[in-house]
Structure 1
Amino acid sequence: MTTRDFDAVVFDMDGVIFDSERAIMDCWKELANKYNISNVEENFYKCIGVTVAKTKEIMLDAYGEDFPYDEYDVEANQIFHDKYSGGRLPMKEGIKEILSFLKNSGKKIALASSTGKTKVEAQLRDASILEYFDVLICGDMVKRSKPAPDIYLKACEELGVEPERAYAIEDSYNGIRSANAGKLRPIMVPDILPADDEMKEKAEKVLDSLIDVKEYLAEAI
């Protein structure tokens, strides 16, 4: 048994499995142009890795309590649906390879996504990768959003593994903070936001792609 031996891997979804952070941001930028919403990209960055409820809180704080967030969110979701539903959402390179590798190696696999369960299941099913996951923990299943550790701790509990024996694959700052606070072993694969000094300190490793993650984990088996 090596010091890096592990029992499970818990994946974030948006920005890790799917190239969806950019897709979502593009939908909001389209709304920003239509309704003349200022600084939408800057405020979107603050929402990466958090639940819908927390996103609304951030946007109302940025634009005021009278900001029609719910209406805009419905419209943004419709734009997203029109462009990417039915399996059209692009996946990150190497995701099927790493999922197959983990499954064939007898490792448990979970998802810890701030996105709601209905959308999570639909996107994973459309991408034909739902069957790889032993457990799905979603944003509407926990009280506290990332960076609180709740979602990762619940994933480990449902898997029946100790957090210290689980890797967490994340792209967002709040996701890395969440996994680190839960005592998992975070690996950051940066998407929109680069790894800063805090992320390098809190993550066990920062890697460029899921292919690199697969190779890194293979060394521990």
Structure 2
Amino acid sequence: MLDTEPLAAQAWGEAAAGLGVGFDDALAMRMVGCNFVDCSALVRRHYGADYPVEALLGRWHAAYDAIVEREGYALKPGLLELLDWLEAAGIPKAVATSTRRARAETKLQQKLLLPRFSALVGGDEIARGKPAPDIFLEAAARIGMPPSACLVLEDSEPGVRGALAAGTMAIMVPDLKPPPPALRAMLTLVLPNLHAVHAHLAALPV
């Protein structure tokens, strides 16, 4: 919903530079969609025990907040029109994000989006992050729907895998990283943006 992936990737680079260490751009792409616990594990596996992981994570928050303050962030094109259509159709909506709940609430409130969702599940509210299904199962439960009746819109590979593992339907709307062939084969639909999602859903028979 929020166009924050490029900002997050930029923040990893700035945080590492502030510590005087390198950071692999390809690693930043692998971290898209992961919560902080899983990001930490990925960094440790990639660089080894001597890499200053905890210091990096601390600096990332400061770097990210500074980038947002300096540059702001935009809504994904087509989001508001899609939300309007879903609300007119009486379809409940939930947010299932790897971001910690308090931070996610702040982001959504800043863009006046928080009241438009029936539920929000943050990455710090579940035991296992994406690609485990936990966050999607919890989101479905909070809006009182079986997972099989839910459609997940995701922009990351861990998110898509988690949604499918939860038994939901899933449409991928890629951001920085296109789906690899193996993931593409698992998906019914990959669409370029939320305008296309809106058009696809509106064309479905009632």
* TM-score bin, normalised by smaller chain: over 0.9
Which residue matches 1:202? 186
Which residue matches 1:177? 161
Which residue matches 1:57? 41
Percent identical across equivalent pairs? Answer: 28
CA 1:134 to 1:80, structure 2 compared with 1: closer, same or farther past 3 Å?
same
Which residue matches 2:29? 45
Equivalent residue in structure 2 for 1:73, among 57, 63, 72 = 57
C-alpha distance in 2 between matches for 1:146 and 1:128:
26
Which residue matches 1:92? 76
- By how many angstroms is 1:87 displaced? 9.6
RMSD between superposed Cα atoms in Å: 1.7
**SS of residue in 2 equivalent to 1:50:** coil
Q: Is 1:112 the counterpart of 2:96 in the alignment?
A: yes
C-alpha distance in 2 between matches for 1:125 and 1:133:
11
Asked if the contact 2:13/2:23 (under 8 Å) is kept, the reply is no
TM-score, normalised by the number of residues in structure 2: 0.93
TM-score, normalised by the number of residues in structure 1: 0.87
Asked if the contact 2:44/2:51 (under 8 Å) is kept, the reply is yes
- By how many angstroms is 1:115 displaced? 0.8
How is 1:118-157 mapped onto 2 (pairs within 5 angstroms)? 118-157=102-141
Asked if the contact 2:11/2:67 (under 8 Å) is kept, the reply is no
Equivalent residue in structure 1 for 2:7, among 4, 15, 23 = 23
Asked if the contact 1:28/1:40 (under 8 Å) is kept, the reply is no
Kindly provide the amino acid, as one letter, of the partner of residue 27 in structure 1: A
CA 1:49 to 1:170, structure 2 compared with 1: closer, same or farther past 3 Å?
same
Gaps of 5+ in 2: none
Query: What is the total number of aligned residue pairs between the two structures?
Result: 205
Which residue matches 1:11? none
Gaps of 5+ in 1: 1-16
C-alpha distance in 2 between matches for 1:39 and 1:29:
6
- By how many angstroms is 1:85 displaced? 4.3
C-alpha distance in 1 between matches for 2:135 and 2:142:
11
| Deviations 1:28-66 (CA, angstroms, capped at 9, x unpaired) | 122334444334211112211111111111111112223
Higher relative contact order (CA 8 A, sep 6+): 1
